[in-house]
Structure 1
């Protein structure tokens, strides 16, 4: 019965919207003046100075999975985020790598911040291809992915990265007692001064996840991800939250040719409560997907995996659009209309090809959830 319900959600007739439409697809809400989010906000004070014992900082970190050869790009990302936010709050940076960091990497990243820097090695058992993956089937699958022009299909390290970001990173001993993280990748940009503690915002306003960019996924990279999700839900209907965001996940009106590729939060930027990934629902879901093999036989990414889990298992009111944080990861932007922003064209979604605008899934989020 549940299987039929989910198939209807995907392939059935378009559903009427029972609440008022909150977003006109023809106008980007970033064109409207943007201020700080509503709710409880905590601003910088002497209690955020680096190295003090009674700091106002909560248990959180800036988190980066980065290679030694990406040092220059990582420094660029750090400089931007330190300038716009972290020089006021001095939250620690935690860097992860599957090989040891070089002395140069450590020296230059520490020089880019007054905050503490931590350098962590990923255990081999968290990174390497798991034993249940059939190597011959993997090689054949890579050929099919390459024929379908799926980027990085033949790079084992990319598949390993997607799996690690999906369900392994929070298991690292270095994050054992960490509550919140802000994921930062090399070669990204931040454009807007943010004057409040974003981690305290998450805590004090009962938020689980924060995003800036929201996209349709590439269907040829995840053809069996949603069917595997439906199988899992048939076994565990109790994990579906009453106030879920399934309508956002499954509304394909903007990209009908995508069929069953859901919308997702672009997870190269995410501010999140790690306890959600540690929950029984997510652990069971990830383990189901991991055994199905799609991180290697296909190119399941952490963005759709995280997003499907959030959209189904979490209260959608606990997911927040950080519209006031100006951000770019090539080729997409979040560019607010704010005097606190510099270097970002207001309302710009992409500076790439015009067809990339079709990948914008924010209209679905605003339609079904809103802009809070």
Structure 2
């Protein structure tokens, strides 16, 4: 706890949110590597994460889990953001250590390494995160196949990160951890952008151009300050992977 407090003080100096909130660090660790082992989910394969105070703007007139299964999709997202590099300064170097040790055997042939390492659009982020673009799927919305988290590649990766201590001595979130693992170990074609699901988690939006949607300005990314538009990493996803 002394080391946690000292580390949190350093994070606070860099204006990292929730630095001293132990429960937030525990939540990030839980959502990264533990929830899918809960006994209540033992016989469950797919899940849709839904959080308080989010908004949905479009009629979802099909079974999203059936869609995932029928189209062989592993993970679905709506919003794709840059992260705070100060909160994950050693996450990418630790990932590289994992790959050098034994993780390369898990690398997908059609991976999303370009999206994970891009240094052109936001070079400041890449520099501070030591080679990681900080692009990640915003995991307050995710529809996913837990078979991936329960698989050997992800379990080995999470256990490596857990031993490194960054969930507590930095503020590694489940969103970058999930995203890096998916970008490295899963075929990028199995990651799906749910472009047709209108969604908001303050202050960001996914606003489709669709007659099924109401109350959302088509194409809006944020209703916050203008600089927040720079935090959208979907253009990088489209550049390196495509729109699906």
For this structure pair, what is the TM-score category when the shorter chain's length is used for normalisation?
over 0.9
2:63 corresponds to which of 177, 193, 197 = 197
8 Å Cα contact 1:170-1:277 kept in structure 2 = yes
Counterpart CA distance in 2 for 1:370 and 1:283 is 28
Matched, 1:247 2:119: no
1:327 corresponds to which of 194, 199, 204 = 199
Equivalent residue for 2:228? 356
Offset of 1:136 from its aligned partner? 1.5
Equivalent residue for 2:91? 225
Equivalent residue for 1:127? none
Matched, 1:175 2:47: no
Secondary structure at the residue paired with 1:333? strand
Offset of 1:359 from its aligned partner? 0.8
8 Å Cα contact 1:192-1:325 kept in structure 2 = yes
Offset of 1:342 from its aligned partner? 0.5
Counterpart CA distance in 2 for 1:253 and 1:179 is 37
Counterpart CA distance in 1 for 2:225 and 2:240 is 28
Counterpart CA distance in 1 for 2:209 and 2:193 is 15
Task: Give the count of matched residue pairs.
Answer: 238
What are the Cα deviations for residues 6-33 of structure 1, in whole angstroms up to 9, with x where unaligned?
xxxxxxxxxxxxxxxxxxxxxxxxxxxx
Equivalent residue for 1:290? 162
Offset of 1:194 from its aligned partner? 1.3
8 Å Cα contact 1:254-1:358 kept in structure 2 = no
- Computing the radius of gyration from Cα coordinates, the structure with the larger value is 1
Q: Where do 5+ consecutive residues of structure 2 fail to align?
A: none
Counterpart CA distance in 1 for 2:188 and 2:230 is 24
Q: Where do 5+ consecutive residues of structure 1 fail to align?
A: 1-134
Q: How does 1:86-125 map to 2 (within 5 A)?
A: none
Q: How does 1:309-348 map to 2 (within 5 A)?
A: 309-348=181-220
Counterpart CA distance in 2 for 1:337 and 1:252 is 30
Q: How does 1:100-179 map to 2 (within 5 A)?
A: 135-179=1-45
What are the Cα deviations for residues 123-154 of structure 1, in whole angstroms up to 9, with x where unaligned?
xxxxxxxxxxxx21111000001111111111
Q: TM-score, normalised by structure 1?
A: 0.63
Secondary structure at the residue paired with 1:215? strand
Secondary structure at the residue paired with 2:65? helix
Higher relative contact order (CA 8 A, sep 6+): 2
Offset of 1:217 from its aligned partner? 1.1
Counterpart CA distance in 2 for 1:346 and 1:253 is 27
Offset of 1:252 from its aligned partner? 2.4
